[in-house]
Amino acid sequence: MRVFVVNSGSSSIKYQLVDVVSEQVVLSGLLERLGQPGGGADQNSAVDHESGMRLVLDRLGPEAATIAAVGHRVVHGGELFAAPVVIDDEVVAGIRAVSALAPLHNPANLAGIDAARLALPGVPHVAVFDTAFHQSMPAAAATYAIDRAVAAEHGVRRYGFHGTSHQFVASRAAALLGRPLESLKLIVLHLGNGSSATAVDGGRSIDTSMGLTPLAGLVMGTRSGDLDPGALLHLLRTGLSIDELDALLNSRSGLLGLAGSADMRDVMAAADAGDADAALALHVWAHRIRHYVGAYLAQLGGLDAVVFTAGIGENAPVLRARALDGLAHLGLAIDADRNGSPSREARVISPEGAPVAVLVVPTNEELAIAQAAAALVG
Ligand code: ADP
């Protein structure tokens, strides 16, 4: 069974044709500069989403006839969507209704959905939400302690993101451990350009570090992560505009703000070369991760495994070790040889017989979306 996976951004369409059984990518591609100057001038761009999707269909050629379903990544499902759904006009209206919560992402996702439904009208389209996995969080974890009426009116609560990745990685971790997911208490650390931590109890998200938006939690490439909300008021009172504050926190903070590069490899190289700012950035990065590991250990009331995934989590042994440094008293330890040996496979990096397993599990959001779509449409 083949699923066509679409990740539609405001100016780009990323796509993959995935064979769900063999888990192989049949083909993949990217169109850029949609709706921007120069869009449509060459083969890797398009004027808009609609013409872009027609171009993609041309590229698929005879493969288009093998598509059993289309899986769409949708960033925000609000409280409306707690699982993937087959898209109809009502679902489109629902995604639009929660767009205020992700004004940059949901309209762009919808543009891709509209264009793909036009281009491929004969197959089911499925929306897979970044937030859905976290809808299982208890109210205690999802609720911010502000005026309840204001929160309700504006949908202000913790939603969490990267849910597709956290869920996929949790289930692969269970397979690697050879135990049912329902029996496991896991902390999943998705450490990429965007980063988040999730406490997974019996296959359900019970807490996660991102919040109303993907700005909360861990130190990221360009995003600040957690910050005293009073700091925002303070900065606004100094005369910063809302757009300037938005750009500061979303685009000029995190590793970039602390160390001058959003790319972890640059920050590591700079720290190795003696750059004090880069060294501090790594300390802050690891400190924040340990903060969440400790918190989620307490919320879970026990722990079977910590799971590293995404660009940094999968590829940076030194940082995996730093993130868990000093946590041996909690049963968390890393075996240096296992941690250091390069591999693309899911693997255990804790010492033999350790009370808590530490795992590296590669994430694959496209495959996860394809699997979710396939499961839904049979
Ligand atoms: P995105 O959130 O954009 O999908 P990724 O999951 O691809 O991001 O992660 C990107 C991050 O992973 C970057 O900070 C990059 O520097 C980091 N990264 C990739 N490979 C390595 C490596 N070998 N060592 C350290 N960091 C790495």
Report which ligand 1 atom has the smallest distance to the Cα of 319: 25
What is the pTM (predicted TM-score) of this model? Answer: 0.96
At 104, is the pLDDT very low, low, confident or very high (cuts 50, 70, 90)? confident
How far is C-alpha 227 from the chain's CA centre? 20
Query: Distance between the two ends of the chain, CA-based, in angstroms?
Result: 9
Residue 38: pLDDT over 90: no
Q: Does residue 114 have an active-site annotation? A: no
Residue nearest to atom 23 of ligand 1 (CA): 315
> Which tens digit of pLDDT belongs to each residue from 264-286?
999 999 999 999 999 999 999 99
Which member of 42, 89, 130, 207 is catalytic?
Answer: 130
Give residue 311 CA to ligand 1 midpoint distance, Å: 3
- Among 312, 294, 295, which Cα is nearest to 254's? 312
Residue 194 CA, closest ligand 1 atom number: 2
Out of 130, 265, 309, mutate this one to test ligand 1's pocket (max ligand atoms within 8 Å of CB): namely 265
Distance CA 134, CA 83 (A): 10
Question: If you measure from the C-alpha of residue 291 to the centroid of ligand 1, how many angstroms do you get, rounded to a whole number?
Answer: 21
Residue nearest to atom 19 of ligand 1 (CA): 311
**Domains of the chain as residue ranges with CATH:** 2-129 (3.30.420.40), 179-365 (3.30.420.40)
Q: In the structure, which protein residues have their CB atom closer than 6 angstroms to any atom of ligand 1?
A: 192-194, 221, 263-265, 310-312, 315-316
At residue 135 the predicted structure's pLDDT band, cuts being 50, 70 and 90, is very high
Dist CA 53 CA 41 (whole Å): 15
